[in-house]
Structure 1
Amino acid sequence: MSVIKEQERPLKPKRSFNKLVNNPVLEDYALRYAPKSFRKWTEFTVMNSALGGIAYMADFAIGGSVALSYGFMNALVAILVVAAIIFLTGIPIAYYSAKYNIDMDLLTRGAGFGYYGSTLTSLVYASFTFIYFSLEGSVMAQALQMYFHIPLAVGYLICSLVVIPLVMFGMTALSKMQVATQPVWLIMMLGPFVAIAFKDPMAFVHWFHFAGSSKSGAHFNALEFGLAAGVTLSLIAQIGEQVDYLRFMPNKTKANRSKWMWAVILAGPGWVILGAIKQLGGSLLASYIEPALGAVQADEPINMYTQAFHTVVPGAFAALSVATFFVLLSQIKINTTNAYSGSLSWSNFFSRIFHFHPGRVVWLFLNVGIALALMEGGVFGFLNTVLGFYANVAVAWIGALVSDLVINKSLLKISPSYIEYKRGHLYNFNPVGFGSMIIASGISIAAFFNAFGPTMQAFSPFVSIVLAFVLAPIIALVTRGKYYIARENTTRQATLLELPLHSVEHEADVEPSTTLCANCGYEYEQEDMLDCPFHKGSICSLCCSLEKNCHDMCKKNSATAGHQHSHSLKA
């Protein structure tokens, strides 16, 4: 957004935004396409910022928890299989988001869910951010309690409030913090494992034969594998947080093609490589400390790393000090991302439902408040149950989204070749993605609660993702792509963003054209504009979202327009 000269602005803009929304550093384009004028970071900076957000200790807790519950072999297979699924599903999501510079919500709108249909996924995504914020905050509070003897209830409050100042300034502050802390974090994370390998190699032998409380001992059991995989599959929604950074990637050009692709892959689906390593590390450390501390405390990361650092640092207090610093650093790195992404998802949800947007920062406080309530309620004690249930809904969303991007767009060419996210050009509900997600998650949740027997219960998340992936193209074929585009975007110029992949690689120094919004009086890049018959001119996508008096008059003939336009977008 750029402020134009006073004499060029309409005398009385129809809409005005408060200072929180008007400040691009605070607002961080929460509801918009991220314009080229704002995306000044390099590929490396964006990649490093995105990877910095996966410093969370929940991976260690999850790895430890599934190993303690289901044994090493079931945990190992579950972690590796789920990592492969997450990596493959993350590739198209990361690519399209970086290519079109939009967040997860805007991508979901245009890839099979519709304008209001994606409000459900905004809630799913917001739930992911505050569930994991509460889990990470619990880990951080455990460290504060152990080292400083701060009561958990007070620690939860401290862990919630400490991230707010950083998150208020969005990508501008987060990118600097993540890049600066990443080398120290990596060394501290990997160091103890190297020390254990040299000083106590038998720990790995014990790990390979660790049975935990598994009924099958140290052997593979299909049902226990399914239950373990259900817990780890809840992490599939993490790609949304990676996308919240990837939308700030610079334009892809012939000069930066290789760097751009590597950055997108590593920062997008590539997060799960490090994530799987951390989960395996958590299972190792849990088996390492379980004989001394017992199963109840063995999945707490502060205990894991205190014992692990003790192999490197002499003295119990010194080891605890180093472990506490590491845990606090890790939790600040990840919970800034959880809080940031939550503020984006809540902004998208409330702007559509209530046509009201006080600013991303307001919803930041809401997200942190919900997470604090979960922490005070003891969510960490129900880790496996909470994540196992959540996985059924999350994988249905991701499965339907990926199916639309890969099959409906690229193979069947029923879905438009580009991503249209603006309200004035979308149907409120698209049964392709929305219907697939509802059906898949409904059946898998019933299976999760043992409606179809123990086998389906154990594999309910797999049922969910397969159903969603298969149903999306079926529904698209049945509806003939009718519900993707409600009316043609007449203001959308034939820019290189619309063209096939080889044409998208335009030169980075070409500045996009801007257009004056007839409603708020500010200029925006053309990609964020649409023609509005209610305001009799071009308006920005946010003004379109917040308008409650037009009653979608621009889409009155959407049934005919959408059907005709769906066939013109197959190329």
Structure 2
Amino acid sequence: MSATSHDPGAKLPRRKFNKLVSNPVFEDYSLRYAPKSFRTWSQYAVFSAALGGIAYLADQAIGGSLAVQFGFTNAFWGIIAAAVIIFLTGIPIAYYCAKYNVDVDLLTRGAGFGYLGSTITSVIYASFTFIFFALEGSIMAQAFNLYFGIPLPIGYAIGSLMIIPLVTFGMTLLSKLQVWTQPLWLLLLFAPPVAVLMEDPNAVSNWVNFAGASPSGDSFNPLLFGSAAGIALSLIAQIGEQADYLRFMPDKTKKSSFGWWLAVLGAGPGWVILGAAKQLMGSFFASVAVTHGTKLAQANEPIQMYHAGFTYIFGAGFAAITVATFFVILSQIKINVTNAYSGSLSWSNFFSRLLHVHPGRVIYIFFNVGISLTMMELNMFSVLGHILGFYSNVAVAWIGAVTADLVINKPILKLSPSYIEFKRAHLYNFNPVGFGAMVIASIISVLAFFHLFGDYAAAYSAFIALGVSFIASPIIAILTKGKYYVARETCYHAGVKHDTMSCASCGFEYEAQDMTGCPFHKGNICSLCCSLDSDCHDQCKKPHADPVLSFGTPADLSR
């Protein structure tokens, strides 16, 4: 049936979802606004779950790699510079995701990219999840290899497959897993460095003077600093995984305002405070591991780091390697359930818009894990720096464009809507503001990364990506006068009403924020059915369209 042949008086067949999609425990409203009825976790529970999501040891591996490759001084300042940028860009993203209860993909749609324009960012974000799943899985396999003697290829498979059943149940299980394991994880995280500092008076001086494999690693080098910061900036997309938790934040009230802000900042951009500390810890443990006889090429492996660290507590025996292995496995489980979960959300968003099909978030867990496992088997850990250095250019360009829209185009220029509009029925397919800024910045920075503009531009390519995207976004918004943000006016602002309505397409009940009027279905339709409809041909956005609206007006429902 096509939109042009649809009989206005005929009843369209009702859309049917499979059991995976219609089960909120499995699905977690993966392509939708997170409704108030589902957001039953406390601010503390959301904060704790989000904090558990950064329990990964990739920070230590990255920090160790930077120290080995560039020396302590350049690694230290590179980590600090990247952390400041990540924190500042993460604040507005965390706030808007928590306030409007949307993930980073839905946020991107309404922050300058358009409905289809944000599909490319879904791939960028999905790439982040499977790159880091592969990195974390490699770290777990290294622990399996050292402790159990399991060959790395088999360890990769074990570490990947054991995550799938844990992540199937979504936020319901993830929140419990993160909260229950948090105290033990924090104890095991900080005990080794404290023990090393207490037992070895030369540990800090050895760290500060650690030159790694670089001839000039014992002093500040602008080129090495820029390269180190660029690799560390690859973690900027982590705010997307934090947003996957932040969208379940309860509504902010006058009574809960302080605690709400504290949880949002802590669970959002605050992740990088602990993340930077862990990277510095990794560079510290790399020097400790080398002091204990570990080869320089293996000093960036977390299992080697923590084996050396726990020997200061338990001695050089069975207990140290056992506790170190347990800690590595626990950490990797805590983070890879988040990587697999977030990746499934991104792929769901991507394929639902391109193919108008949604088999369920759970299906894409297997797809994301499969890509990660392939990367592990190809030994991506050995080329970690190159992969992250290249990836950071595109990720930084994306986040820079979104941040510019949230902090400049919305509140200052007022060319972008003050709220987050994420529904297909109200968005242009492409908005040149964010999409154009990201593409321009990505092309320029990637060319710089490959030394087209010289060594300094190559070292600072990620900074170029950030600067170009942040400047280009408001310029394009001014040139286009913001006319590509909203294709037709919405009849309410997201986050203002919690009454439920029945979808004319699937028949399920959804809160008002997830609904829109549809002339094709002659009634209100939910955002997912709107995304999946391939027969309507965007009737609602055509001239003289008369969408059926059965709930209020902007004046009735605005804050």
Give the AA of the match of 1:429: F
User: Which residue is equivalent to 2:178?
Assistant: 178
Q: How does 1:476-495 map to 2 (within 5 A)?
A: 476-490=477-491, 492=492
Could you list the runs of 5+ residues in structure 2 that have no partner in the other structure? Answer: 1-9, 548-557
2:203 alignment partner in structure 1: 203
Give, as a single letter, the amino acid of the residue that structure 2 aligns with 1:280: L
- Corresponding residue number in structure 2 for 1:72: 72
Task: Give a deviation string over 1:367-423, Cα, whole Å, max 9, x none.
Answer: 000000000010000000000000000000000000000000011111000000000
- 2:74–2:217 Cα contact (<8 Å) kept: no
**Partner in structure 1 of residue 302 of structure 2:** 301
1:464-503 correspondence runs (5 A): 464-490=465-491, 492=492, 497=495
SS class of match (1:344): helix
CA distance in 1, matches of 2:305, 2:374: 26
Q: Map 1:343-354 onto structure 2 (within 5 A).
A: 343-354=344-355
Offset at residue 296 of structure 1 (A): 0.8
Tell me if 1:321 matches 2:307: no
Q: CA deviation at 1:211?
A: 1.0
Asked if 2 retains the 8 angstrom alpha-carbon contact of 1:486 and 1:558, the reply is no
> What is the match of residue 436 of structure 1?
437
- Is the Cα contact below 8 Å between 1:27 and 1:359 reproduced in 2? yes
Letter of the structure 2 residue corresponding to residue 66 of structure 1:
L
Question: Could you tell me how far apart the structure 1 residues matched to 2:79 and 2:12 are?
Answer: 58
Question: Which is further off, 211-220 or 463-472?
Answer: 211-220
Q: Distance in 2 between matches of 1:459 and 1:132?
A: 22
Asked if residue 550 in structure 1 is aligned to residue 522 in structure 2, the reply is no
CA contact (8 A) 2:199 2:312 kept: yes
- For residues 11 and 368 of structure 1, the distance between their equivalents in structure 2, rounded to whole angstroms, comes to 41
Deviation of the 1:214 alpha carbon: 2.2
1:31 equivalent to 2:31? Answer yes
Please give the alpha-carbon distance, in whole angstroms, between the structure 2 residues aligned to 1:311 and 1:441: 46
Confirm or deny: 8 A CA contact 1:392 1:464 kept in the other structure.
yes
Counterpart for residue 157 of structure 1 = 157
Q: Amino acid of the residue matched to residue 317 of structure 1?
A: F
Q: Distance in 1 between matches of 2:219 and 2:543?
A: 61
In the alignment, does 2:509 pair up with 1:523? yes
Pairwise mapping of residues 48-197 of structure 1 onto structure 2 (< 5 A)?
A: 48-197=48-197
CA deviations 1:446-504 (Å, max 9, x no partner) are 000110000000000000011000000000000000100001123x2x68x36xxxxxx
SS in 2 for 1:219: coil
Cα distance, 1:13 vs structure 2? 5.2
The one-letter code sitting in structure 2 at the alignment partner of 1:262 is L
What SS does the aligned partner of 2:335 have? Answer: helix
- In structure 1, list runs of 5 or more residues that go unmatched: 1-9, 499-510, 562-569
Q: Distance in 2 between matches of 1:393 and 1:260?
A: 31
Deviations 1:227-269 (A, max 9, x none): 1011100000000000000000001111111110000000000
Between stretches 123-132 and 11-20, larger displacement belongs to 11-20
Q: Is the 8 A contact 1:487 1:558 kept in 2?
A: no
Where does residue 413 of structure 1 map in the other structure? 414
In structure 1, C-alpha distance between the alignment counterparts of 2:544 and 2:318, rounded to whole Å: 68
Alpha-carbon shift at residue 151 of structure 1 (Å): 1.0
What is the Cα deviation at residue 161 of structure 1?
A: 0.8
- Superposed CA offset, 1:6-61 (max 9, x none): xxxx9985201000000000000000000000000000000000000101011000
Q: Spell out, residue by residue over 1:263-298, the C-alpha distance to the aligned partner (whole angstroms, 9 max, x if none).
A: 000000000000000000000010111241121110
1:539 aligns with 2:540: no
Q: After TM superposition, what 4+ stretches of structure 1 lie above 3 angstroms from structure 2?
A: 10-13
- Conserved in 1, the CA contact under 8 Å of 2:73 and 2:217? no
Structure 1 counterpart of 2:554: none
Normalising by structure 2, report the TM-score.
0.95
SS of equivalent residue, structure 2 residue 255 = coil
Q: How far, CA to CA, are the matches of 2:41 and 2:11 in structure 1?
A: 36
> In structure 2, how many angstroms separate the alpha carbons of the residues matched to 1:52 and 1:215?
38
2:235 aligns with 235
1:12–1:354 CA distance, 2 compared to 1 (3 A): closer
Aligned to 1:3: none
The alignment-based identity, stated in percent, is: 63
**Secondary structure, in 3 states, of the residue corresponding to 1:515?**
strand
8 Å CA contact retained: 1:35, 1:525: yes
Post-superposition offset of 1:114: 0.2
The alignment yields a C-alpha RMSD, in angstroms, of: 2.0
| Alignment partner, residue 225 of structure 1 | 225
Task: Give the Cα–Cα distance (whole angstroms) in 2 for the partners of residues 433 and 540 of structure 1.
Answer: 26
**Residues 106, 421 of structure 1: 8 Å contact kept:** yes
> Residue 506 of structure 2 aligns to which amino acid in structure 1?
C
